[in-house]
Amino acid sequence: MRKRVIDDRFELVERLGGGGMGLVWRAWDVALHREVALKEVRPPDPDMDQHDPEGARELRARVLREARALARLNHPHVVTIYHIVDSGDSGYPWLVMELVSGGSLQERLEHGPMTPQDAARLGREILSALSAAHAVGIQHRDVKPANVLLRPDGRSVLTDFGIAAVRESTSLTATGSFIGSPEYISPERINGVEGDPASDLWSLGMLLYVAVEGRHPLRRATTLATLAAVLNQDVPPPQRAGALGPVLGRLLTRDPAARPDTGSLDRMLASVADGSAPMPGPGWAPGPPPQKPPYEQP
């Protein structure tokens, strides 16, 4: 069977994954003779071009803007974008990226949880990637183990920033499904607030919780039940986090303003990674939810 070739250069070899945001393929660059990852970012609603052509054009433009911003980043823990295939108004762009061959963090965690020290080292790498993206105005919005790839030497690479463009350009329920991962999205974003870089830090905290505990504390049987749990239920104290526990408590507070800034967070993670952080006492708990304004009499 003849293989599909994109832009007369990238030969699709096999599908690596995909979802509401598009498909990812292993591909062969026939010009440079190397393997690459190819992704077409698409809205979850396949009929968007017909019923909302203006929105579809804006989505394409936004994807291109954010892809170009990411392509300018030269960061060891952000996936490298080599090339953008822009087909204009006739289709959505294809992103040509480095192929990271070591598997995902999600696959790694299927073999068991991480130690607090290893999780803290991983957290610093992901944090540095987020900080670099935030510095050019891009929030990730879908930090989760499946979007952290691992190189053969163990170093991590944060990928799949495409949701940043798609989530703001389409309805969350365009096809009756939720865009993003409900168990990792921050409470304020579930509430419809765009959030800021601190919202990505909630997601990072939840990722690290899962990495050391081996389970998600708020995942429920359905998407709606999970969203309700993230919004309303306390995060149970971790049992395996050790010195990482207080860091998780700072991150998994529902008040974005109470989460640490990136500099403070990096120092906290560094102290856990090098073993200098003290072990927490009993009674760990995440920070309190945001205070509601006092009721005003009419």
Catalytic site positions:
142
151-179 in b/e form (b: 16+ CB < 10 A) is eeeeebbbbbbbbbbbbebbeeebeeebb
Beta bridge partners of 19: 22
Q: 242 in helix, strand or coil?
A: helix
**What Rg, from alpha-carbon coordinates, does the chain have?**
20
Distance between CA atoms of residues 238 and 123, nearest Å: 16
| Residue whose C-alpha is closest to residue 289's, from 252, 249, 254 | 254
> Identity (one letter) of the amino acid at 85?
V
Rounded to the nearest angstrom, the gap between the alpha carbon of residue 251 and the centroid of all alpha carbons in its chain is 15
Strands (E), the chain: 5-6, 10-19, 22-29, 34-41, 81-85, 94-97, 148-150, 156-158
